[in-house]
């Protein structure tokens, strides 16, 4: 009997169900022995507290096009994973005991950066683990692409698209705040696809004067509006000089909900222009996966299933140079794939007149 556990961890995204379906179909259709699948509810919490259900064909029917995750998910921060819960339970030991009690051959984890730290920890503790790269931020080390990213780009792009008409009608500056706390792949791609005039990323600290210059130049050229795509983690050059402790202190005392509102206030004071802020927020995580993500997540799931059937554990299934690859979990855990300020895509955007505020 081949027994497989599966969980989704961290923030949800599109195509989680498609990826799990890919794992299930590949293993059940190609295994030479009977197979049982155990779905852990709400991420690592399900593994910790033994909350699971046995999955069958009916669970994987008609889920390819459905967003979110049929198993539920939650955040279980890695920095506290070694700390006992409120009742004194050793969470790592509890996960191991659940794994052994169910006599699992492998645990499949679908998650992002923090979730991969825990997956690597469990692998180091002796469990057989295979993972899939899930995040709308596309910031996982070891893979060129994560599933959920393309769907989120489409949603964020549509938000920018819809802003154009009202921005033009009223002659306003519009700031669209796109998810991306530490890494700017999502606002970069959505900003380019949506025709933003200015794109602000966490990796490229901005100069307020440069932003004002772009707005005023567009005014002189007779352009009625300016669209600014801002990553939620964008930071000014002044703030980038602060230590992490100093910056956190500043944020804790700020009257602004986010950097976008602070920037909007600064632009109003400097230019007298009307400025509006739009925050698509969790809409970017929701809805059905686009066709690309359905195919991509299915392929990743199939590759994960293939690894399990071969008995190869301790890997994340990644995508490099248009090929599926297996990446050791130790190489993935704790690393972020940042946007290189000198990357070709940044240079190409600048050649087209896009400003990054630098």
Q: pLDDT, tens digit, for every residue of 212-260?
A: 999 999 999 999 899 999 999 999 999 999 998 898 888 888 899 999 9
The CA distance from 127 to 125, in Å, is 6
Residue 244: per-residue pLDDT: 87
- Tally of structural domains, the chain: 2
Instruction: Report if residue 50 sits inside a domain.
Output: yes
DSSP character for 189? H
B/e letters for 51-72, b = 16+ CB within 10 Å, e = fewer, are ebeebeeebbeebbebbbbbbb
The CA distance from 152 to 278, in Å, is 16
The domain that holds 226 is classified in CATH as 3.40.50.460
Mean pLDDT, 10 residues at a time, over the chain (358 residues)? Answer: 96 96 98 97 97 97 96 92 92 97 98 95 98 97 97 98 92 95 96 98 97 95 94 95 89 91 95 94 95 98 98 98 96 95 97 96
171 and 64, same structural domain? no
For 257-277, the pLDDT digits (tens) are 999 999 999 999 999 999 999
- Whole-model pTM above 0.85? yes
Residue 171: per-residue pLDDT: 85
Longest dimension (CA), the chain: 72
User: Percentage of the chain surpassing pLDDT 70?
Assistant: 100
Q: Verify whether residue 219 is a known catalytic residue.
A: no
Instruction: Report yes or no: 89 and 26 within 8 Å, Cβ to Cβ.
Output: no
Sequence-separated (6 or more) residues with CB below 8 Å from residue 347: none
Structural domain including 297 reads: 2-148+289-332
The domain that holds 315 is classified in CATH as 3.40.50.450
Closest Cα to residue 172, out of 280, 262, 276?
276
Residue 290 C-beta-side C-alpha neighbours within 13 Å: 14
Instruction: Report if residue 77 sits inside a domain.
Output: yes
142 and 168, same structural domain? no
Residue 287: per-residue pLDDT: 95
15 and 103, same structural domain? yes
Residue 138: per-residue pLDDT: 97
136 and 125, same structural domain? yes
Sequence-separated (6 or more) residues with CB below 8 Å from residue 23: 4, 6, 108, 132, 301, 302, 304, 305, 308
Instruction: Report if residue 352 sits inside a domain.
Output: no
Residue 91: per-residue pLDDT: 96
Instruction: Report if residue 313 sits inside a domain.
Output: yes
Look at the alpha carbons of 211, 212, 215, 221 in this order and tell me if their dihedral is positive or negative.
negative
What Rg, from alpha-carbon coordinates, does the chain have?
22
Instruction: Report if residue 99 sits inside a domain.
Output: yes
Beta-strand (E) ranges in the chain? 2-8, 35-40, 52-55, 106-111, 129-133, 173-178, 198-200, 226-231, 275-278, 315-320, 323-328
Sequence-separated (6 or more) residues with CB below 8 Å from residue 306: 26, 30
238 and 174, same structural domain? yes
42, 137, 154, 197: the catalytic one is 137
The CA distance from 101 to 82, in Å, is 21
């Amino acid at each position: 009997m081949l027994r497989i556990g599966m969980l989704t961890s961290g923030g949800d995204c599109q195509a989680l169900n498609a990826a799990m379906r890919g794992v299930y179909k590949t293993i059940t259709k190609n295994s030479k022995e009977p197979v049982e699948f155990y779905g852990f509810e709400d991420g690592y919490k399900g593994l910790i507290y033994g909350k699971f259900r046995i999955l069958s064909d009916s669970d994987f029917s008609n889920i390819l096009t459905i967003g979110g995750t049929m198993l539920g998910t939650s955040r279980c921060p890695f920095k506290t994973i070694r700390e006992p819960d409120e009742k004194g339970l050793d969470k790592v030991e509890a996960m191991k005991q659940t794994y052994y009690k169910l006599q699992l051959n492998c645990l499949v984890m679908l998650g992002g950066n923090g979730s991969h730290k825990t997956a690597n920890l469990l692998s180091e503790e002796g469990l057989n683990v295979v993972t899939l790269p899930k995040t709308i931020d596309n910031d996982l080390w070891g893979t060129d692409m994560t599933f959920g990213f393309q769907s989120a780009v489409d949603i964020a792009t549509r938000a920018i698209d819809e802003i154009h008409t009202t921005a033009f009608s009223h002659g306003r500056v519009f700031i669209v705040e796109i998810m991306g706390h530490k890494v700017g792949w999502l606002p970069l791609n959505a900003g380019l696809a949506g025709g933003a005039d200015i794109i602000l990323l966490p990796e490229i600290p901005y100069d307020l004067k440069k932003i004002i210059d772009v707005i005023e130049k567009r005014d002189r050229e007779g352009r009625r509006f300016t669209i600014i795509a801002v990553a939620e983690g964008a930071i000014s050059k002044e703030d980038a000089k602060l230590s992490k402790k100093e910056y956190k202190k500043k944020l804790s005392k700020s009257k602004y909900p986010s950097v976008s509102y602070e920037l909007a206030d600064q632009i109003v004071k400097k230019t007298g222009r009307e400025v509006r802020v739009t925050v698509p927020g969790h809409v970017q995580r929701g809805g059905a996966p686009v066709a690309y993500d359905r195919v991509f997540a299915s392929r990743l799931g199939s590759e994960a299933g293939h690894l399990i059937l071969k008995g190869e554990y301790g890997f994340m299934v990644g995508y490099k140079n248009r090929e599926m690859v297996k990446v050791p979990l130790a190489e993935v855990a704790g690393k972020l794939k940042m946007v290189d300020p000198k990357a070709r895509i940044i240079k190409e955007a600048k050649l087209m007149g896009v400003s990054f505020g630098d």
